[in-house]
Structure 1
Amino acid sequence: MDSIEKAIYGLACLYYIIIPLGYFATLWLPASEMTGKGTILVTGGAGYVGSHTVLELLNNNYSVIALDNLVNCYAEKNDKPESLKRVEKLTGKQIIFYNVDIRDKTSLDKIFKVHSIDFVIHFAALKAVGESVQIPLTYYQNNIAGSSTLFEVMQSNGVKKIVFSSSATVYGIPQFLPITEEHPTGQGCTNPYGKTKYFVEEILKDVCVSDHEWKVILLRYFNPVGAHESGEIGEDPSGIPNNLMPYIAQVAVGRREKVYVFGNDYPTPDGTGVRDYIHITDLAIGHVQALTKLNDTTFFGWKAFNLGTGRGYSVLDVINAFSKASGKIIKHEFVNRREGDVAASFADASLAKIELNWTATRGIDEMCKDTWNWQSKNPNGFKKK
Structure 2
Amino acid sequence: MKIAIIGGSGFVGSFLIKELEGEQILNIDKNPSPFYQSFTTIGNVLNKKDIILDDSIDTVVLLAAEHRDDISPTSLYYDVNVGGTQNVLEVMDSLGIKNLVFTSSVAIYGLNKDNPTEVHPEDPFNHYGKSKWQAEQVIKEWFDSDPEGKSVTIVRPTVIFGERNRGNVYNLLKQIASKKFMLIGSGTNKKSMAYVGNVVAFIHERISQRELGFHIFNYVDKPDFTMLELIEAIEDRMNITLPKGSVPYSLGMLGGYVFDLIAFLTRKKFSISSVRVKKFCATTQFDAEKVHSGFQAPYTLKEGLNRTLEHEFLQKKKDEVLFYSE
TM-score (norm 1): 0.68
Answer yes or no: is the 8 Å Cα contact 1:275–1:312 preserved in 2: yes
**What whole-Å deviation, never above 9, does each CA across 1:232-288 have from its counterpart, x for those lacking one?**
xx31x4xxx4x2x2113444676xx84575x41xxxxx3464221122111111101
Confirm whether residue 176 of structure 1 aligns to residue 114 of structure 2.
yes
Match of 2:66 in 1: 126
What is the alpha-carbon distance in structure 2 between the residues aligned to residue 48 and residue 351 of structure 1? 25
Shift of residue 306 of structure 1?
A: 1.5
Of the candidates 193, 197, 206, which is equivalent to residue 128 of structure 2? 193
Shift of residue 189 of structure 1?
A: 1.0
Shift of residue 330 of structure 1?
A: 6.7
Of the candidates 196, 207, 210, which is equivalent to residue 280 of structure 1? 196
Shift of residue 104 of structure 1?
A: 2.0
Compared CA separation, residues 350 and 272, structure 1 to 2 (3 A): closer
SS at match of 1:277: strand
Answer yes or no: is the 8 Å Cα contact 1:310–1:346 preserved in 2: no
Confirm whether residue 57 of structure 1 aligns to residue 20 of structure 2.
yes
Answer yes or no: is the 8 Å Cα contact 1:258–1:333 preserved in 2: no
Match of 1:82 in 2: 34
Match of 1:343 in 2: 282
Compared CA separation, residues 323 and 84, structure 1 to 2 (3 A): farther
Aligned residue type for 1:349? A
SS at match of 2:70: helix
Answer yes or no: is the 8 Å Cα contact 2:62–2:100 preserved in 1: yes
Match of 1:10 in 2: none
Match of 2:155 in 1: 219
Answer yes or no: is the 8 Å Cα contact 2:114–2:285 preserved in 1: no
Of the candidates 60, 71, 79, which is equivalent to residue 141 of structure 1? 79
Answer yes or no: is the 8 Å Cα contact 1:325–1:368 preserved in 2: no
SS at match of 2:102: strand
Unmatched runs of 5 consecutive residues or more in structure 2: 257-273
Match of 2:310 in 1: 373
Shift of residue 352 of structure 1?
A: 2.1
SS at match of 2:223: coil
What is the alpha-carbon distance in structure 1 between the residues aligned to residue 246 and residue 83 of structure 2? 38
Aligned residue type for 1:218? I
Shift of residue 372 of structure 1?
A: 1.9
Match of 2:260 in 1: none
Answer yes or no: is the 8 Å Cα contact 1:251–1:330 preserved in 2: no
Compared CA separation, residues 260 and 206, structure 1 to 2 (3 A): farther
What is the alpha-carbon distance in structure 2 between the residues aligned to residue 52 and residue 82 of structure 1? 12
Match of 1:208 in 2: 143
Identical amino acids, percent of aligned pairs: 23
Aligned residue type for 2:88? L
What is the alpha-carbon distance in structure 1 between the residues aligned to residue 94 and residue 182 of structure 2? 47
SS at match of 1:374: helix
**What whole-Å deviation, never above 9, does each CA across 1:13-43 have from its counterpart, x for those lacking one?**
xxxxxxxxxxxxxxxxxxxxxxxxx011111
Of the candidates 148, 168, 172, which is equivalent to residue 248 of structure 1? 172
For the pair shown, which has the larger CA radius of gyration, 1 or 2? 1
What is the alpha-carbon distance in structure 2 between the residues aligned to residue 307 and residue 191 of structure 1? 20
Answer yes or no: is the 8 Å Cα contact 1:170–1:197 preserved in 2: yes
What is the count of residue pairs matched by the alignment?
292
Answer yes or no: is the 8 Å Cα contact 1:318–1:364 preserved in 2: no
SS at match of 1:116: coil
Match of 2:47 in 1: 104
Aligned residue type for 1:247? N
What is the alpha-carbon distance in structure 1 between the residues aligned to residue 70 and residue 228 of structure 2? 23
Of the candidates 317, 321, 325, which is equivalent to residue 382 of structure 1? 321
Compared CA separation, residues 122 and 258, structure 1 to 2 (3 A): farther
Structure 1 stretch displaced more, 370-379 or 188-197: 370-379
Of the candidates 209, 214, 220, which is equivalent to residue 308 of structure 1? 220
Compared CA separation, residues 121 and 326, structure 1 to 2 (3 A): same
SS at match of 1:312: strand
SS at match of 1:311: strand
Compared CA separation, residues 96 and 350, structure 1 to 2 (3 A): same
Of the candidates 267, 291, 296, which is equivalent to residue 207 of structure 2? 291
What is the alpha-carbon distance in structure 2 between the residues aligned to residue 328 and residue 42 of structure 1? 41
Match of 1:74 in 2: none
Compared CA separation, residues 207 and 378, structure 1 to 2 (3 A): same
SS at match of 2:198: helix
Aligned residue type for 1:117? I
